[in-house]
Chains A and B, each alone.
Chain A
Amino acid sequence: MNCIVCIEYIIVAVMVLSAIFAVEWGDLLAAVVGMTAVSLFASVLFFFLQAPDVAMTEAAIGAAMSAAVFIFAIKRTQRYESEEEGAGWWLRW
């Protein structure tokens, strides 16, 4: 029912699912959001593994700095992965 082990299973499952979506989506902004979600869930797992310095550093740097630098690079290049139309239902959700 309410055990701390259940929360660990849920967080690891959502982290792996978010990583799969980050790699698969065709819109690159959505992929960056997925990568940020992976970083934030990893920060929560670092807290469960009794490592507070690493959790703070991952939350500050992985979530804020890495996402911002990626979004500035997307602004200066292109937003979608490939420009072809009708490439399949899985590319542009």
Chain B
Amino acid sequence: MVKRILAIIMLLIVGFWMANALSGVPFGEDKMLVGKYYLENVKEQTGAVNAVTAVVVNYRGFDTLGEVTVLFIASTGVGALLWRKKKERTAKSEGSVVLRTGSRILLPFIMLFGAYIFIHGHLTPGGGFPGGATIATAFLMLYLAFKDYEIEHKVFEPIEGLAGVGYVTVGLIGLAIGSYFLFDWIWQTWGWGHENIGRLLSAGFIPIIYTLIGIKVGTELTGIVDNMVREEVKGND
């Protein structure tokens, strides 16, 4: 009880201090400094119409590579901590008729929608990460509907690895041709797509990198779900 009261008093002090600090940051005023430069030059330098995805992939592409690495470490950690010699699904009953039929019908449409999100990342909101999460949601729905469903491990794990290797290869090609790692060689050296701003085939290597990120995030989250669902079944029971 004493711990509760002390915690509440300390939290009220912290909250009052934060509110006092935030009253000096006026809400809704124009305080852009670096953002103004990015907004004015994004159409000529990258060719993308969506300024947020151009910042994430083109101007700050190395930080996105760091994020893909953190996701990979988390997924490998989940697989390593939950490894047992023999794992099986322990669901006791299947889903109802509505769930089974609906998931079989909806599966290709959900995957198509996820692919649409990450292919059009430079034109409409979204990008690689929500597209990959949508594809993982499609497989999660299959896990929930059927009692004995498992993904094909021999297909998913090489795809995940190759997508990650592909991202680093795209960066290394930029290093080999031009000046720096993750140099946008399609837009700046070859000059493809300069007349197509606002349409699908433009914006340099942003669609290529977002396709690789979408595939990698989708298969990674599906791998996390698969590792957490299957439990160890003891042999003599």
Contact = CB atoms under 8 A, between A and B. Distances in A.
The answer to A–B direct touch (Cβ < 8 A) is yes
Interface of A: 52-53, 55-57, 59-61, 64-65, 68-69, 72-73, 76
Interface of B: 50, 52-53, 117, 125-127, 129-130, 133-134, 136-137, 140, 221, 224-225, 228-229, 231
Contacts of B53: 53
Contacts, number: 46
Nearest to B143: A68
A28 to B, nearest CB: 16
A23 to B, nearest CB: 12
A56 B52 CA distance: 13
Contacts of B117: 56
A72 B228 contact: yes
Contacts of A60: 130, 133-134, 137
A55 B129 CA distance: 12
Nearest to A72: B228
B127 A53 contact: yes
Nearest to B136: A65
Contacts of A61: 129-130, 133
A72 to B, nearest CB: 4
Nearest to B133: A60
A56 B121 CA distance: 12
B137 A53 contact: no
A64 B125 contact: no
A61 B50 CA distance: 21
A52 B130 CA distance: 11
Contacts of B221: 65
Nearest to B134: A60
B220 to A, nearest CB: 11
B95 to A, nearest CB: 15
Contacts of A65: 133, 136-137, 140, 221
